A and B are shown apart, each in its own frame.
Chain A
Amino acid sequence: MLTESMQINSGHQSMIHDIKYDYYGDKLASCGSDGYINIYDVSKKQQVGQIKIRDSPLFSLSWSHPRFGNVLATSSYDGEISIFKEQKDWMKVASFQNEGSVNCVQFMPRELFLACGTSDGFVILLDNNKNWDVDYKWQAHESTIHGLCWNYDGSLLATCSADKLIKIWEFTNNNKPQLKYTIQQHLDVVKDVQFHPLENNILVSGGDDGKLRIHRLDDDVVEIQLIDFHMTIWRIAFNMLGNLLTINGEINGQSQIQTLKQEDNYQYSQIDCN
């Protein structure tokens, strides 16, 4: 189903930590330990932009919705959250300095409202409408937040952490985020959490215990599937409409990528891809 089509020379000097397509899939941005963001034109297969923050590793990237133009947010190990806009060149629009490492950032769908997860377990919300002032900051977890994800309509934010928990925060109008669910199925660090792109109540998670878990959020959280991959799951990616799911993991220092496809009732089954 998946076939190798081309390789893009990333231009990074060391490890890559995140890659993201923009809304229309024309541009691909990558960031890594060398502190660079590289932006490639996918069709032309060439690098079309580069942003250098500092020497500190960059862990995470997020493109904004195109109604704001081309806007990128990134976060680094030394705690800087930066927001860039593409004009003639990429220009830093705002930045925020956190004390410790910021491991993950994601824009709320369709909004310039950025959620960031830190190594000391805080979630920081930055808001364009407040000139990028901190909208809210709270201790969401006991320890390092490794991943976070907005659901499709921006009403829920899921966070996962080294404290083995997944927490889901509900955003209602003019209220601070309320903890709605806590999931404690994982036996070890939870590295990533992703909402299904079409279904607001389907959530997948994975981490150091090697298990991919698919949850349904109703009155309670119901675990609807569990697959053991016997490797550290680092990142999970859905395709555009959630019928494909890719698990990115590591075992004995080897990176592994496995793809699953959706069957009935949001059950996923493994497929051969490469």
Chain B
Amino acid sequence: MLLKTTQGNMSVWSNLKSQSNLLVSAVNDQLGAQLQFNSFNLGQKNTSTSIIGTISCKDAVTCLAWENFAQETYPMGLVAAGTSEGYVALYDANSAINQEEESCVSIIDQLYEGPVNAIEFNEFKPNLIALGGQDVLIADIIKDIQNPQVFGPGNPNLHEDSSITAVSWNKKILHILASASQNGLTGVWDLRNNKPIFSFQDSSAISNKKVSLLWNPEIPTQIAVAYDDERAPELQIWDLRNPQGPSIVFSQIHKSGINSLSWCPNDHSLLLTGGRDGQVVCWNYKTQSVVSQEQLNFEIADLKWSKRVTSVYSISSVDGQTSIRSLPCGKEGYAPKWLKPPVGSVYAFDQMAAFKENNSAIQVYSINQSDPDNIFENFNAFCSIDADQNRIQFEIDKQHNQQYTQYWKLLNSVQKEDKKEYLATLGFSVKEITQQTENYTGKRHSKKDDQNKKKNQAPQRPAIDFATITDQDADSFFNDLTNQSINKQQQTNSSRNQDVEIFQSEQVSKNTNWNVGVEKIIKDNLIVGNYEGAIDCALKCGRSAEALLLAYSQSKEIFEQTMNTFLTTQTDYFLKNVLKHIVLKHPDEIAKNYELNTWKECAAMVLNSDNTGQFHKIMEQLGDRFIAERKDEFNALQCYILAMNGEKCIKILINHNKSLKELSEAIKLLIVIEAYSLQESELFARYFDSLILQFANYAIQHNQYLSAAYSLNFSSPDCQRALELLDLLYRGNHKERNIIQKIMDKPTFPFKYEQIKMGIVKQLSAQPVHAPNQPVSRPTRPAVNQHQDDHNVRQQIQQNQNQNTNSAAINNPFGPNVAKTADEQVPPPSKRPVQKPNPPVKPAPPPNQTKKQEAQNLQGPPFPNEPFRQEQQQPLVQPPPPPKHHMAPPPPPPQQQQFQSNQQQQFQPPLPQQPFQQQQHQPQITQQQQWQQEQQQQQQQQQQNQQQLFNQRTQQNPVLDNKQQIQQSKAVPPPPAPQRRGPPPPPKK
């Protein structure tokens, strides 16, 4: 396919990665020559290249090469031009492109009397330039580019007097060079030993014709040779391991001499030849077939594959036109290597499948589960317990982290709704305190008596229930008493002072004579019936009890007033802020003022005050105070747990996602908190879903699918992403699928079923695709981040449904026409305990529902013309049987497969390298100092083997410095034609 055109009768491509779309062409005319730097953009429609630099030469250019060299000095490499006058000019491509005055770096002259016919840089060591003219020369520009060292490849000259038409460096072994001369002889040189090591000559003795020659870039023992010979325009591939004749011969295609040859650098199976007959032929030497063949209307002088642009090559005509073309791509037949992925892999759950070239088996790998700190194992154990109280107990037993243990204990008390549990969790042992009290007062105060008390609430005087004491206890009681009184007098006093502070803080009048002082005033007031005066006096003098008793005997109003006066005039903190509110039954006031450090006392007291209805509110307030005043989330969370406020809990726990461990603990807590939470909260659901998704993602990443499924089971029914994951885990092919399917109910398929439509088999895409301004409708969604997934999907489904109103029954998964699909695939409605019916996905209607009802269910308000619509759409839903050519061809008959395999057998790469290498056990000649050192740096092991081949060749055919030996090597007679075109004979020895 023609891409671009320019001038020139030969060209060379850039080898720069960054500048691969650059081609230098040589335009020769009577006045001399010009080198043009062509740049092109395949995306642009115009067919001309843009000339971004030129170089003028005073003599005709006869050969061209371009290679990267000394990147710092010549960032775009050197262009070497051989001329008709026998010298080579080296140009700096960069300065030519920048239009600098002098781009010529060096002139290597006095090489030949005639033209330079061939030139090639060594790819490994671009300082070595092979030249072909009257004979083969190598110029080394490493030391002094202006005065390069020029030397021959060794003696004797295999080509004798015939002039050289091609030189080629071996593409794997850097010191091997091949050359071809007009007499049809091809010679191979070992430059490390400076010796010719091999030569062959085609039997069809030609003379004075161009021979093109290239090493195989893949198999370093193979050379392609093409002859500009009208009688036998052949392309031959020789293998040095089989020197009797060419291994492969391509003929019969070119009608006239082949005068150019290029080996595809991007697919080593492909060779391109151009002939005087104007044909360009792409050959696959491995399959020995023609990949493409193109007849041009001019005689071809030169062609070259682009080094870096795949499928692109340049062709120059003898009359000076150069074009850039691409290999026709997509026609039946050989697909070039650059389009064929040789290797690939794909994942599904805990497995990965991979294929590699040359291996017809697909290897499946399994990916291990991982469970850092047994987090998932514990999580699974937790989730597999059915009742919440057992889960709590499980955590209390297993939990190692004190912080979480505390949460679980609180949850335990919440779950048991038992004050004793609460108090114990808060750090107060009812038993202990009661014991202490009993010890102090000698009376029973146990709460268990509450019920008895109620029964016994009679006019009669309640009996005092003396606490029993065992003899032993009594003994120790006395001992303690003695010890305390002797040794710990102070301490006891102080602690007693603390405990009973309220009773001692007032100034109690000790006066027992009611006829003097305040007592007399009180008495007088009582006598005259002025009770209020008496109360006030009593209060003032510290006889609070008397004041309260008096007030109690009067109206409720007076009592409350007195009590208020008493409580508010107190200076004692505890009395004023705590006791007051207990008495006044304002527990929320306690929470406002209670010292946060001892919030548990507060909690306990509030719990015991009768207004339990307020307990949760007060705990919430306490938690709020921890957050507001101290940012103390640990204590706040404890308060919120007692408050049974899921929303406040999750506001704290939402941040517990820094590590997998933290996340799993948070989820476990929230699972139970959700169960006991007093409020339904949207925020809770949203946050919890987000945490669950995070955890499930972690779990899936560790291949812990059961844990993921367990956690997802607790997500809210409108979290679409969770539904999708759950569906994936339930139905997906992984190691834990069986367990999940055993323990969980089948989830509803969380997507809307849709029917695929029949299309038309399109022919070549010449039809217009779209008017530019016409809006295109397609199912698209705005970009959203992950947390909005569910919302997003809902929106999408909404969208789909909207679309569906236009095409009513088509996409209706339960419509009459697609009932088959629906029957096949709609699973029974979900029985998942936490699942409420999923809004986006409509459950399958009961079988007895009419079709119209079904439609209504799915489409919302019924359309008046609904039935009509359905009918109208029917043809679309059940398309007429498609024409035959729509159908997939029937399964291939076995013969066809057989044919395939036969064909494939031909594909088998020929030329086994193995046999030859087996010979390599003889000691090597080692005069290889310099070359070998360089060699070791560059070569890989594989290449070393091949190098040995050449060593061996050197050794086997030592071409000595006498004529006799030359004759011998020349005299290797080509065997008769049929023999050499057959398969390679086994190697000698």
B512 within 8 A of partner (CB): no
Q: Does B784 contact A (CB under 8 A)?
A: yes
Interface assignment of A26: CB less than 8 Å from any CB of chain B: yes
Please report the C-alpha to C-alpha distance between residue A4 and residue B888 in the assembled complex, in whole angstroms.
36
Nearest B residue to A259, CB-CB: B352
Q: A69-B821, A255-B356 are in contact. Are A59 and B341 (CB under 8 A)?
A: yes
Q: Give the interface segment out of B53-61, B667-675, B764-772.
A: B764-772
Which listed segment binds A: B153-161, B198-206, B308-316? B308-316
- Chain B residues closer than 8 Å to A209, beta-carbon distance: 17
In the bound complex, how far is the Cα of B368 from the Cα of A259, in angstroms?
14
Cβ-based interface call for B972 (8 A): no
Do A137 and B769 contact each other (CB < 8 Å), given the known contacts A78-B330, A90-B888?
yes
Asked if A171 contacts B778 (CB within 8 A), the reply is yes
Alpha-carbon separation in the docked complex, A23 to B756 (Å): 17
Q: Which of B701-760 contact A (CB under 8 A)?
A: 701, 728, 731-734, 749, 751-760
Contact of B348 with A by CB under 8 A: yes
Partner of B786, one of A59, A92, A199: A199
Does B487 touch A at the CB level, under 8 Å? no
Contact with A142, one of B43, B362, B767, B780 (Cβ below 8 angstroms): B43
B339 close to chain A: CB less than 8 A: yes
Smallest Cβ-Cβ distance to A141: which chain B residue? B43
The answer to whether B892 and A16 touch across the interface, beta carbons within 8 angstroms, is no
* C-alpha spacing A273/B366, complex, angstroms: 10
A257–B342 Cα distance when bound, in Å, is 11
Residues of A within 8 Å of B803, CB to CB, are 129
B366 lies within 8 A of A95 (CB): no
User: Would you give the shortest CB distance from B97 to chain A, in whole angstroms?
Assistant: 19
Tell which of B339, B360, B697, B900 touches A144, judged by Cβ atoms closer than 8 Å.
Answer: B339
Residue B387, interface by CB 8 Å: no
Kindly identify, within residues 22 to 61 of chain A, every residue whose CB is under 8 Å from any CB belonging to chain B: 23-26, 28, 30, 33-34, 40, 42-43, 50-52, 54-57, 59
Q: How long is the Cα–Cα vector from A239 to B637 in the complex, in angstroms?
A: 38
What separation, in Å, do the CA atoms of A67 and B349 have in the docked complex? 19
Residues of B close to A172: CB separation below 8 A: 780, 782
Residues of B within 8 A of A89 (CB): 888, 891
Please report the C-alpha to C-alpha distance between residue A114 and residue B756 in the assembled complex, in whole angstroms: 13
**Inter-subunit contact B783/A155 (CB<8 Å):** yes
Q: Which of A125, A126, A237 has the most CB of B within 10 A?
A: A237
Who on chain B is nearest to A151 by CB? Answer: B783
Chain A residues with CB under 8 Å of B889's CB are 52
Give CA–CA (A47, B764) in the complex, Å: 34
| A255 lies within 8 A of B342 (CB) | yes
Give 1 or 0 for each of A1-29: 1 = CB within 8 Å of chain B CB: 11111111111111111111101111010
With known contacts A108-B779, A240-B349, A93–B365 Cβ distance under 8 A: no
| A246 partner, pick from B41, B310, B354, B358, beta carbons under 8 A | B354
Partner of B364, one of A7, A139, A259: A7
Which residues B329-344 have CB closer than 8 A to chain A?
A: 329-333, 335, 338-344
Query: Known interface pairs A139-B43, A154-B779. Does A187 touch B18 (Cβ–Cβ under 8 Å)?
Result: yes
Chain B 890-927 against A: per-residue CB contact (8 Å), 1 yes, 0 no?
01100011001101100100000000000000000000
Contacts of B463 in A (CB 8 A): none
Decide yes or no whether A268 CB sits under 8 A from chain B: no
Interface centre among B354, B749, B785, by most chain A C-beta atoms within 10 angstroms, is: B354
Partner among A67, A135, A174 whose Cβ is within 8 Å of the Cβ of B754: A67
B528 at the interface (CB under 8 A from A): no
Interface residue A163 (Cβ < 8 Å from any Cβ of B)? yes
Set of chain A residues within 8 Å of B762, measured between Cβ atoms:
95-97, 134
Bound-complex Cα distance A33 to B785 (A) = 39
Closest to B811 in A: A129
**Would you call B352 and A239 a contact (CB within 8 A)?**
yes
Complex interface bits, A146-178 against B, C-beta within 8 A gives 1, otherwise 0: 100001011110000011000000111111100
Please indicate the chain A residues that have their CB under 8 angstroms from the CB of B775 in the complex: 174-175
| Contact A173 to B780, CB < 8 A, known contacts A14-B904, A100-B329, A244-B347 | yes
- Least CB distance, A202 to chain B, in whole angstroms: 12
**Interface status of B42 (Cβ within 8 A of chain A):** yes
The reply to whether A97 and B332 contact each other, CB–CB distance below 8 Å, is no
Taking A7-B361, A257-B356 as contacts, is the C-beta distance between A234 and B341 under 8 angstroms?
A: yes
- The residue from B331, B363, B732, B783 contacting A4, defined by CB atoms under 8 A apart: B363
Q: Report the minimum CB–CB distance from A178 to chain B (whole Å).
A: 11
Q: Does B351 contact A (CB under 8 A)?
A: yes
Asked if A17 meets B344 with Cβ closer than 8 Å, knowing A1-B367, A55-B332, A142-B43, the reply is yes
Given known contacts A78-B331, A162-B310, is B343 in contact with A255 (CB within 8 Å)?
yes
CB-nearest residue of chain B to A5: B366
* B41 & A142 in contact (Cβ 8 Å cutoff): yes
The total of chain B residues at the interface (CB under 8 A) is 106
A250 on the B face (CB < 8 A)? yes
B454 interface contact, C-beta 8 A: no
Cβ of B402 within 8 Å of any chain A Cβ, yes or no, is no
Asked if A92 contacts B887 (CB within 8 A), the reply is: yes
Please measure, in the bound complex, the distance between the C-alpha atom of A142 and the C-alpha atom of B332, giving whole angstroms. Answer: 23
Instruction: Give the chain B neighbours of A21 by CB distance below 8 A.
Output: 346-348, 353
Contact B43 A163 (CB under 8 A): yes
B776 in the interface (beta carbon within 8 A): yes
**Residues from 82 to 115 in A contacting B, C-beta threshold 8 Å:** 83-85, 89-103, 108, 110-113
In the complex, whether A265 has a CB less than 8 A from a CB of chain B is: no
B455 interface residue, CB < 8 Å from A?
A: no
Alpha-carbon distance between A70 and B305 when the two chains are bound, in angstroms: 43
Residue in chain B with minimal CB distance to A233? B343
Interface string of A230-274 (1 = CB under 8 A from B): 000011011111011010111011011101000000000000011
The one of A17, A54, A66, A241 that contacts B701, using a Cβ cutoff of 8 Å: A241
Q: State in angstroms the CA–CA spacing of A239 and B368 once bound together.
A: 13
- Chain B residues whose CB sits within 8 angstroms of the CB of A162 once the complex forms: 309-310, 338
Q: Are A153 and B886 in contact (CB-based, < 8 A)?
A: no
Contact A19 B349 (CB under 8 A): no
A4 touches B365 (CB 8 A): yes
Within 8 Å by CB of B354, from A17, A24, A139, A248, lies: A248
Whether A250 and B357, one on each chain, are in contact in the complex, defined by CB atoms closer than 8 angstroms, is: yes
The one of B365, B763, B940 that contacts A97, using a Cβ cutoff of 8 Å = B763
Tell yes or no: A143 within 8 A of B by CB: yes
Please, which residues of chain A bring their CB within 8 A of the CB of B933?
A: none
B761 within 8 A of A: yes
Closest chain-B Cβ to A40's Cβ sits at a distance in Å of 8
> How far is the CB of B738 from the nearest CB of chain A, in Å?
11
At the interface, yes or no: B110 with Cβ under 8 Å from chain A? no
Q: How far is the CB of B571 from chain A (nearest CB, A)?
A: 58
Select B770's contact among A52, A66, A136, beta carbons within 8 Å.
A136
Given contacts A19-B355, A21-B346, A108-B779, whether A176 and B770 have CB atoms under 8 Å apart is yes
Supposing A13-B901, A101-B329, A256-B343 touch, asked if A94 and B760 sit within 8 A by C-beta, the answer is yes
Are A246 and B352 touching (Cβ within 8 A)? Answer: yes
Give Cα distance in the complex from A112 to B778, angstroms: 10
B232 → A minimal CB distance (Å): 33
Chain A residues within 8 Å of B352, by CB = 2, 237, 239, 244, 246, 259
Min C-beta distance of A64 to chain B, whole Å: 8
Give A146 to B892 CA distance when docked, in angstroms: 30
Using A174-B776, A274-B365 as known contacts, say yes or no to A43 and B733 having CB atoms under 8 A apart.
Answer: yes
B residues apposed to A, CB below 8 Å = 17-18, 41-43, 218, 308-311, 329-333, 335, 338-349, 351-368, 697, 700-701, 728, 731-734, 749, 751-765, 767, 769-770, 775-786, 789, 792, 796, 803, 821, 825, 886-889, 891-892, 896-897, 900-901, 903-904, 907, 940, 942
Q: Could you list 10 A-B pairs, sorted by A, with CB under 8 Å?
A: A2-B352, A4-B365, A23-B728, A34-B904, A52-B889, A59-B335, A67-B751, A93-B756, A129-B803, A174-B778
- Other A-B contacts than A69-B756, A137-B765, A248-B354, 20 sampled, CB-CB below 8 A, are A3-B368, A10-B355, A34-B900, A34-B904, A52-B889, A64-B756, A98-B330, A119-B329, A121-B43, A128-B759, A129-B778, A129-B803, A132-B757, A132-B759, A153-B784, A199-B786, A237-B346, A246-B345, A246-B354, A255-B359
